Structure formats: C-alpha cells, structure tokens
Amino acid sequence: MFNYNLKLSLKSMRRNPIMTGLMVAAIAVGIGISMTTLTVYYMMNGNPIPEKSDVLFAVTLDNWNPIRPFDDDRPERAPHQVTFHDAERLLAIGKGKRQTAMFESSLIIEPIDDEGLPFEAGARVTSADFFVMFNVPFIYGSGWDKSADAAAEPMVVLTKGLNERLFGGEDSVGNWLTMQGTRFLVTGVIDTWEPTPRFFDPINGGFQEINEMFIPYSLTRVLELTSAGSDWGWKSEEINSFEEWLNSEAVWVQYFVELESTRERDDYLVHLDAYVEEQKRLGRFERPLNNNIYDVMEWMDYHEVVANDAKILLGLSFLFLVVCLLSTIALMLTKFVGKKSEISLRRALGASRKVIFNQQIVEVAVIGFSGGLIGLSLAALGLQGIEYLYDAPAGLVKLDWVMMFTAIGIAIVSSMIAGLYPAWRVCQIPPAAQLKTQ
Amino acid sequence: MGLGPMMSSLMRSKTGPLLVALQIAVTLAIVINSLYIVVQRVERINRDPGLDVDNVIIAYVRGFGENFDVVDSITNDIILIKSIPGVVAATVSDHVPLSGSGSGTGLRTVPDETIEPVSTGYYRWGEEGLDALGIELSRGRNFFPEEVNYILPASDPPTPPSVLVTQNLADDLFGEEDALGKTVYWGNMEPSTIVGIIGHLHGSWVTWDKLAHVVIQPGKPANTTNKYIIRVEPGMRDGLMPIIEQKLGESNRQRVVKSVRSLEEMAARSYRRDRGMAIILSIVISLLIGLTALVIVGLSSFHVTQRTKQIGIRRALGARRGDIINEFLLENWLITTVGAVLGIILTAFVAYWLEVSFELTRLDWRYLPAGIVILWVLSTLAAIEPARRAASVSPAVATRSG
Amino acid sequence: MLSMHNIAKVYRTESIETHALREFSLFVDEGEFVSVTGPSGSGKTTFLNIAGLLEESTVGIYELDGRDVSSLNDRDRSRLRNEKIGFIFQSFNLIPDLNLFENVDVPLRYRRLSSGDRKQRVERALESVGLASRMKHLPEQLSGGQQQRVAIARALVGEPRLLLADEPTGNLDSAMADQVMKFLEQIHADGTTIVMVTHDPDLANRAERNIHLIDGRVSGEELVHSQEEVSQTVGFNGDQPLAAKI
C-alpha cells in the first residue's frame, strides 16, 4: 500500500508542477533558513566537553574594589579572572583533583634553519594538568611533567598546524625551538582539538581558534610574558617592574579545577574561603567573601557565549518557517479542490477514509522530504555564507549528523502538521458527490 | 459584486483566505521587525567615526632578540615611515580606534574615590596622533612635542599634565560648563588639565555605549608590540601598504612585521556582526516577500481556473472586464487587509519579545504603516496578472456544458 | 440480494429540507436485472447512492446480501463497496493520468492481493472488454465507448455480486450505447445482479424488471421479460467474446 501511495503522490505532484514546486520551495526555504540559524545556535550553545563538563570548574575570587563591585549590573559577581599570584599560590596548594591556570600570550619563534623568517605565534601559558584535565589528544609525546612547572623549565607543546609549519608534520618530540632567545624542548604535539565553544577562555572569545602552542605557566616570571588577552584592574598601584605587575591586584588569569564529587566541591569552596581569609589578614580581599566555582555549562551561560543576534535570528527564522508552512497548507488545500472527483471515485471503488487519508499523508511526506533535502543544501550554503560574513574559522559551523537528521525530521514533521488539515478535509469528501457530472 | 456578497463568498470558503491572511500577518511581523533591525545596524555601521578611515594604515611590529632596543626601533621606524612619499603623518600609539582592542579607564572631576567615575576609552599617542588619524580638534591645542615622552613597559611614568578629550566625554564630565582648561582626576587621583577638545571621535569598541568617550594622553608607548598609525594621501593607501611592510621588514632584522592593514578593513571587521546581521536579515526579508508574492500568484491563478465557469456566467450576464478585475483585486485587498490587521498585533508581540529579551530599542511605530503599504502594493502586484487572466475568460464559457 | 425497507433520505441545508426518498421499499433478488426510471429529481441517484453504500439513509433498513448495512462504520462500508459492488457511471470517471491497466487496478489496490494476482485479474478484465492490447494507453486516447468499456472492466475486476450502473450510456451515441448494453446483458447472464438507473425507456425495457420513481417513491413496477428471453439475446458482435465468468 505504501508503494502504491508513493506512486500516486508522485503522479499527483506531476499533475500540478507549479503548485508542487511552490510547496517544495516553501518548505526548502523555510528549512534552509531555520536550519542555518539553528545550527549556529546549536554550535554556540553546544557542550564543548560533554564527558567532563560537570567536573571541570572555573574559579572566581572577589579581590575587587571595596567600594564598588566588579560588574555594576551584576553586583553579586566576583571578577571573572584571578590575579597572577593568587593563581600561582592556588596551583602550589593543589587542593583539587587537578588544576590549571592559564592566559593567552604570544612569542616570536626564531627560524630553525638559515632560510626561514622569524614569526609570531600565539601561546597559551598554562600548567601541566591542562592536557589531562581537558582531554587534549596527542599525536606525538605528551604534556610536560609537573616538575617542569616547578622548575620553570622551557618546554613547549605544539599544535598540529604549528608542527606542520615548523617540522613538516614529523614527530618533533625532543627537538628544540628558540623563542625570544630561549631554547624550548618540544614535549608533545597535539592532534586536531576544537572544543566549541572554546570553554576555557570565553573571556577572550568563545569561537576563536585555539592557540598555536602551550608553555609552562611558571615561565611567566622568567621570560616576563605578558597577557595578550584582556586584563582588568581597579587599584592604583605603583608598578615599576614586571615583578610588581605580577603581584598587583589586576586580574588576567583564568583558573580551572577538576572536582569529581559534591563533597570535593564543598571541600574546595571551604578551601577557597580559607585561602581568602588568610589573604584578608594580609590586607587584601576587602570585599565580603564571594568565592565561586562554575561548571563548564554555567561558565558558558555566565559569559553569554550565545550571541543575542543568534537568538534573534533563531526566533525570526522559526517564524519564517511558520510562514512557509502556512503557505504549504494554503497550497495543499487549494490543490485538494482539484482532486475532489478522483477522491470521490476512489471512495466509491472501496477506499476507506483512512486509506485516502494515508494517501494524502504520503504525498505530504514526499513533499516534506524533498523540501527538507533541498533545504539541507540551502542550509549548508547558508552556513558557508555565515562563516564568510562573520569571519569564523573555516568549518566552525557545520551540519553534523544530528543537524541533518533534525533538518529532515523538522521538514517531515512540520509538513505533516501542515498536511494534516488538508488531508482531513480530503477524506471528508463524500464518495458520491462528484460522480454524476464532470 | 459588492462588498456584501464578496464577504459572504469569502466566509464560505473561509479556511483558504484565512490561511493567506495569517501568512500575510506573520510576514508583516517578520518584515517590519527585521527591517527595523537592518536599518538600525546600517545606521550604526555608517556612523561618523570622527577620523579619516579611508586613508589610514596600521602597522604592527614586534621586536625580539637580545640586542633589540625598543625606543631606538620606534624612533627609526617613524623616521623611515615618514620618509616614504605619500605619507602625511605617523605616530606610535598603544591602541587603534575602531580596532576592537583598547584600554578603558574612569575619570572624575573631583579627587574623591567614593564618587562614581565616568568611564571612557583611553589612548596614548604622540603629537602627530591627531594628524595621523585625520582627527579635527574643535577647540584648544594639540600636544606640544616636548610633552610627549617614551613610556617603557612595566614603568609607571608621571601622570602627564595635559590631555585631550572628546566633546561627548567633556559633556558627561562637566555638563553645561566649558571643559577646556578644567582638571580631571585619574584612578590614582592624579590630576590632568584638558588642553584640547575633539569635536567627535569613536574609540576602540564599536558595541560600547560610551564609544564616543575618549581621553588621550601624550606619550609614545614602547610595548612588546608597537602599533604605528599612518595617514597617507587620498588614493595612495593600497599602493603604500606593501611598500611600508617591505621597508619596515628590511630595516631591522631583529623585529617582525606582524601585519600592515588598512583601518578601513579593521573597522569593517569590528562591525562584521552588525553587517552580518543586516545582510542575513535582508536575505530573510527578500525571500519572505518573494515567497508570499509567489504564493498569492499561485493561489489566485488556481482560483481563476476554478471559477472559469462562474466568471463566464457573470460575463454573459453583463459584467465588464474591469468589473472582474476589480472584483479579484478587491477580494485580494480584503484578505491582505485582514492579514495586516492581524499582523499589527503580531508585530507588536515580536517587537515586545525583542525589546524585553534582547534590550533592542523599541520599534519605531512609523514602520507599521510603511509595512502595510508595502504589503498592499505587493499583494496587488501579485494578483494583477491572475485577475487579468480572469477578465479574459470568454462569456461563451457559460453556455458550454463541460 | 438487496432489500430496502421504508428508506427515507432527507437533505438539510440551513434553510431548506429536501426529501429525496420517502417510505421507499424495494427488493431485488439475486441475479436480477432491474432498471430504475423516473423524471429528474425523482430520487433515482439518491437511491443508487444508498444502494451503493455511497450515502447513508436518514431512516429505514437496508440489507445487502442478507446483512444489515444501515449502521456500519466507514471502514466496513468501504470494504463492502470494494468487494461486493461494482459501479458504472455516466461520465466513465476514469482517472486521466493513469493508464488503462492502472485505472482498472484501482479497486484491487484496496484489497490485500499479491501483485501477480492483481496483474492477472486486471488483464483478464481488460481482455473481456476487448482492450487488453491497449493497457498502457491513457483514457484520453480512447473513444467514449472504449472508455466506458474500461469502466466496465474496472467494475468487474473485483468480481462484484451487484453491479450499479448510473445512466451508463448517457454520454454515448446509440451504436456505442447498444454495445455497452450488450455487455451488461452478458454480465447479467453470467449471474451478476444489476441495477441500472436510466431515463431512456428503451434501455429500461431491456432489463427484466422496471421500477418507476416519482417524488422519491416507487410509483410503478413492471415485469419486462423473463430471464430465458434475455439469455436468447446474447451473441452480440463485440470485439471479443465476453469471458464466461470473470
């Protein structure tokens, strides 16, 4: 019966090619637009590290101005980054299962041979636990040891792209790299790693490419590394040396901790409070105790990683889909007027209402499926357009399997909804009415 | 046929026309709200930044190596750049307006920490800074060369006595009073005197509501990365960019030229979200209008075919072609108007949603009549061809049986 | 085969009530060939619609093949229509974009039959009306008489017990009409019950019994001729002989 219905719907679609074309086009455009915006939203709203998002926490401490909060609009919030020296001390105490501090910087890589030119590369200055905590995949080698952190040894982990540029993609572990006069030992090369959004640093952009290399946090003092990300300060402090800058109240370091159980979380908050109480005795942290930890998804919400424009477009494009469906219903209803005589004949020849209804629904589904397929290609095109318009890293927004099935699903379900009423109207046609005259 | 019988004919086949009216209503809601957003974004992109965007080049260089002397490097680079024919002015600066990267600070009119400071963008550049960006000073004076000193990294130089502010910042600091010659206090409560007022200038972050708040200190920031702002003769920018990049690269091997870009490109990048949104919504509007028009054409044509016999009978009974056309157009107009009325309500809902959820400014009510007129014109244009086809039905159809 | 007792059918609109049939009773025996005549508006078509389970009567009892069908649901009525009743319409009612095979195939599609089985039956039915060679043609490529023969094949393909014909020759010239009537007579001779609505007294007289309707009631009944006589008239000169039993 299904095959027969399929055949009938194809015939029916051919009988009225303009109407059919309009219906398919309406659904295709509706799906194309709404899938484009839904994919962008889904990408922005996605969980970048689903396997660990509930055990990784960003840490905030309130070292801000005693007379005004960090964020006037949200006075309950502590600054979203911590000071260099607080991060350093929390790392040394190491109370969590794992912890890491980090900031963005950049270094000049000097040429390996005589022909090359020096160039600047972005670096994430971080500590040993980073790679294990965030499940970073390696092609060669691994991260550095904690001992390298402690001794401030110049070591570097390269991304696949930078390793390609410097060593032609070969296993470079054990090689040396000169950056700003210091020789760094390559300990590992990571594989393609694109957590989206870039959850560990939404402050400097949730959809940037990750930095090209990773070096130990403890090198900051030795090499006088400065942050390429944003920094915030409130206190007028006299700063006449790099050391004084590192010891200032300016916040520019992101701090993450891994905690597995509720108990560990509670203990960690107690530990943070104890740390701040101790600092209070030294005259710092003049605001009331306000230490917080945020898991990955809370941290994404905190930074409103999903752009308002993406939400507006999502809302408007679903209204657009509604218009497309209204068009489809109107066109289908109109089309059914033209089918009256055939339907009443089929009813007379023994087709029950249910059979006729099914026949219409199959036709509707065929139209929905075709519209959905075309809509998918439109969405793929739309996403390329969006990458171009927003200057996003290539391949940042793409239609994965989930999105493709969602698109076809939405196309079929919504055209079914659009087709239900017309189909119901069609099967109300009495078997006799149209038989006598034509 | 008058309005009465037509209404009753519409009511009898109510679902079809109701659907079209609903479609028109939702179309109106999307089109008006999207159009409003587009217009706002375009207005924002086209705001006057108060500087010569078209003729400014920005060069980023960064030194490395043990023998690198940043002050020497900057001094020589500026001399080199200014020696290139076509260059009008050049300066080193800590940040570049419209670039998305900058510094912010708070200023007060009295040295009292408990008073809420006025937030502002904040730059440090040399005496040629205004010229290098093509900024016009409306009153007062520029920095004297002797006021401009190198600022070394991790140093805390004395607060300079002279600063420039934008008129917009001056107004928010001093209100009605004339700001020229007045004293402002920094976060460390050190004072500076306003020596010049810039009529209008945009700072670094184009989405910030205090974009036109700018304060400028004299100084030559000698940071890790040095940013040179270079203004060239009109029309010479694209030709000079590679020359500047090449000359800077050759002049000092202990330094990397990170990039040489036009300020226009950087500003466009800062506005890319607004531009992207405007383009996407324009596409949505066009597709929507196109779809709705096509659906009206399709449905009207189908109705003409369905009613051939009825039209023939009416023609046989004396209706003129014009009567038939008017009848079709009037019917179409009625449906559109019902849709428009529903649409106004829906538009208000969507506008409310946008205003409350995303803090967009309230929809300008004048967009409503504009949108309705557009829909009337559109739906009439879409229906006119089918209506003419209806009018061309021969009265002889009435006597045919089939 | 068909028994109607005190059937009434009332059509109601907002302002008017029309009594299409009132106190209508009729009994048609298995294997009979009955013609129904009457002026326009006398209720002929309403009677046929109710008999064919296309419409339900407002009141009264209708038994088809010994079964009360007055209160069946849509699904059961549809199945009865499909299995027990064949229709022939004045305007043929072939589906224009289906070829002859597909047109005849339509009723079988609403039964659970294998495709081989369906193919065999459709081919046999088309053979019996002499159009097997034109299976792939579209209706518009045929003459009116040929189209009506396809409609007859479609009516017979499901082996119905009752054939309902509504002005089957109304759109045909007299030669073609005669041919179609001969088909009906042959079908009747093969044992199928036929009820035919017509306004043509000559055609009506070719049935065994004529029922005359006026104002929704049976106004007269007349035995036309006996079954023996009918079978003697067989031997028409159609394209091909009608299969003995389809």
Q: What is the pLDDT of residue C239?
A: 42
Write out chain A residues lying below 8 Å of C55, CB-based.
430-432
CATH class of C32-54+72-233: alpha beta
Pairing of strands C17-28, C33-37: unpaired
Residues B303 and B248 in one domain: no
Burial zone of A140 (CB within 10 Å; 0-12 exposed, 13-18 middle, 19+ buried): buried
CA end-to-end distance (rounded Å), chain A: 28
Using CB atoms, pick whichever of B15, B153, B272 lies closest to residue A390: B272
**Which residues, given as ranges, of chain A have pLDDT below 70?**
432-438
Dihedral of CA B121/B125/B127/B129: which sign? negative
Write out chain A residues lying below 8 Å of B30, CB-based.
316, 319-320, 323
Residues A158 and A178 in one domain: yes
Interface check C70 vs A, CB under 8 A: no
Distance CA B168, CA C81 (A): 86
Distance CA C178, CA C197 (A): 16
Strand ranges for B66-202 from DSSP E: 87-93, 103-107, 118-125, 137-140, 150-151, 162-166, 183-185, 191-198
Distance CA A234, CA B113 (A): 11
Residues B300 and B389 in one domain: yes
Interface check A320 vs B, CB under 8 A: yes
Distance CA B112, CA B118 (A): 13
* Residue A391 one-letter amino acid: D
Cβ distance C81 to A349 less than 8 Å, yes or no, reads: yes
Q: Which residue has the tokens 């209804």?
A: A357
Q: What is the pLDDT of residue B13?
A: 60
* Residue B167 one-letter amino acid: Q
In a domain, A200, yes or no: yes
Neighbours of chain A (3+ CB pairs under 8 A): B, C
Distance CA A381, CA C213 (A): 69
Cβ distance B350 to A312 less than 8 Å, yes or no, reads: no
pLDDT (tens digit, 9 = 90+) per residue, B150-198?
Answer: 998 777 788 889 999 999 999 999 998 999 999 999 988 899 999 999 9
B330's CB contacts (< 8 A; 6+ apart) are: B3, B6
Distances (CA, A) of C87 to A431, B303, C161, C222: 12, 32, 11, 24
Cβ distance B37 to A312 less than 8 Å, yes or no, reads: yes
Distance CA C133, CA C236 (A): 21
Cβ distance A436 to C110 less than 8 Å, yes or no, reads: no
Interface check B247 vs A, CB under 8 A: no
Residues A109 and A182 in one domain: yes
Cβ distance B34 to A316 less than 8 Å, yes or no, reads: yes
H/E run at residue A156: strand A155-158
In a domain, A50, yes or no: no
Q: Where are the domains of chain C?
A: 32-54+72-233
Tokens of A32: 């194309």
CB A1, CB A357: distance < 8 Å:
no
CB B187, CB B106: distance < 8 Å:
yes
SS (H, E, C) chain C: CEEEEEEEEEEECCCCEEEEEEEEEEEECCCCEEEEECCCCCCHHHHHHHHCCCCCCCEEEEEECCEECCCCCHHHHHHHHHHHEEEECCCCCCCCCCCHHHHHHHHHHCCCCCHHHHHHHHHHHHHHCCCHHHCCCCHHHCCHHHHHHHHHHHHHCCCCCEEEEECCCCCCCHHHHHHHHHHHHHHHHCCCEEEEECCCHHHHCCCCEEEEEECCEEEEEEECCCHHHHHHHCCCCCCCCCCCCC
- Asked if the model's pLDDT at residue C70 lies above 50, the reply is yes
Q: Tell me the three state secondary structure of residue A237.
A: coil
Distance CA C55, CA C49 (A): 5
In chain B, % of residues over pLDDT 90 = 63
pTM reported for the whole predicted model: 0.83
Q: Higher-confidence residue: B63 or A272?
A: A272
Pairing of strands A98-109, B150-151: unpaired
Using CB atoms, pick whichever of A110, A320, A385 lies closest to residue B288: A320
Residues A376 and A295 in one domain: no
In a domain, A384, yes or no: yes
Interface check C140 vs A, CB under 8 A: no
Using CB atoms, pick whichever of B15, B298, B358 lies closest to residue A333: B15
Interface check B29 vs A, CB under 8 A: yes
pLDDT (tens digit, 9 = 90+) per residue, C78-100?
Answer: 888 888 999 898 888 888 888 99
Q: Higher-confidence residue: B223 or A171?
A: A171
Using CB atoms, pick whichever of B224, B288, B299 lies closest to residue A323: B288
- Asked if the model's pLDDT at residue C150 lies above 90, the reply is yes
Domain boundary among A302, A334, A369: A302
- Calculated CA dihedral for residues C154, C157, C163, C169, nearest 10 degrees: 30
Banded model confidence at residue B354, pLDDT cuts 50, 70, 90? very high
Total number of domains constituting chain A: 2
Domain boundary among A279, A302, A325: A302
Q: What is the pLDDT of residue C231?
A: 42
The number of C-beta contacts closer than 8 angstroms across A and B is 144
Taking Cα atoms as reference points, which of C48, C25, C78 lies closest to residue C163? C48
In chain C, % of residues over pLDDT 70 = 91
Q: In chain B, helix, strand, coil percent, each to 5?
A: 50, 20, 30
Distance CA C90, CA C61 (A): 28
Residues 78-97 of B with CB under 8 A from A: none
Domain boundary among B253, B286, B302: B253
Domain boundary among B207, B222, B253: B253
Q: What is the pLDDT of residue C145?
A: 87
Using CB atoms, pick whichever of C75, C77, C82 lies closest to residue A354: C75
Expressed as residue numbers, the domain containing B296 is 3-46+272-399
Domain boundary among A302, A325, A345: A302
Mean pLDDT of B199-227: 94
Q: Which residue has the tokens 């100084």?
A: B219
Residues A286 and A208 in one domain: yes
Residues B391 and B334 in one domain: yes
Residues A163 and A183 in one domain: yes
Alpha-carbon distance B296 to nearest alpha carbon in chain A (angstroms) = 9
Residues 97-136 of A with CB under 8 A from B: 108, 110, 117-120
Tokens of C116: 């081989």
Mean pLDDT of B36-45: 94
Residues A266 and A281 in one domain: yes
Q: In chain A, helix, strand, coil percent, each to 5?
A: 50, 15, 35
Residues 10-49 of A with CB under 8 A from B: 18-19, 22, 25-26, 29, 33
Cβ distance A350 to C91 less than 8 Å, yes or no, reads: no
Tokens of A18: 């303009």
CB B311, CB B393: distance < 8 Å:
yes
Expressed as residue numbers, the domain containing A331 is 2-45+307-427
SS (H, E, C) B234-282: CCCHHHHHHHHHHHHHHHCCCEEEEEEEEHHHHHHHHCHHHHHHHHHHH
Interface check B356 vs A, CB under 8 A: no
Interface check C97 vs A, CB under 8 A: yes
Residues 243-262 of A with CB under 8 A from B: 244-245
Residues A296 and A232 in one domain: yes
ipTM score of the complex?
Answer: 0.87
- Asked if the model's pLDDT at residue B235 lies above 60, the reply is yes
Using CB atoms, pick whichever of C54, C83, C158 lies closest to residue A348: C54
Banded model confidence at residue C234, pLDDT cuts 50, 70, 90? very low
Average pLDDT of chain C to the nearest whole number: 84
Cβ distance B64 to A329 less than 8 Å, yes or no, reads: no
Chain CA centroid to CA B237, Å: 24
Cβ distance C107 to A352 less than 8 Å, yes or no, reads: no
B401's CB contacts (< 8 A; 6+ apart) are: none
Q: What is the pLDDT of residue B400?
A: 59
Total number of domains constituting chain B: 2
Alpha-carbon distance A353 to nearest alpha carbon in chain C (angstroms) = 7
In a domain, A433, yes or no: no
Q: Higher-confidence residue: B308 or A201?
A: A201
In a domain, B75, yes or no: yes
Interface check B154 vs A, CB under 8 A: yes
Q: Which residue has the tokens 């022939």?
A: C88
Distance CA B32, CA B289 (A): 11
Interface check A265 vs B, CB under 8 A: no
**Best of B30, B280, B356, B359 to mutate (most A CBs within 10 Å, chain A):** B280
Residue A51 CB: number of other CB atoms within 10 A? 8
* Residue B11 one-letter amino acid: M
Q: What is the pLDDT of residue B218?
A: 96
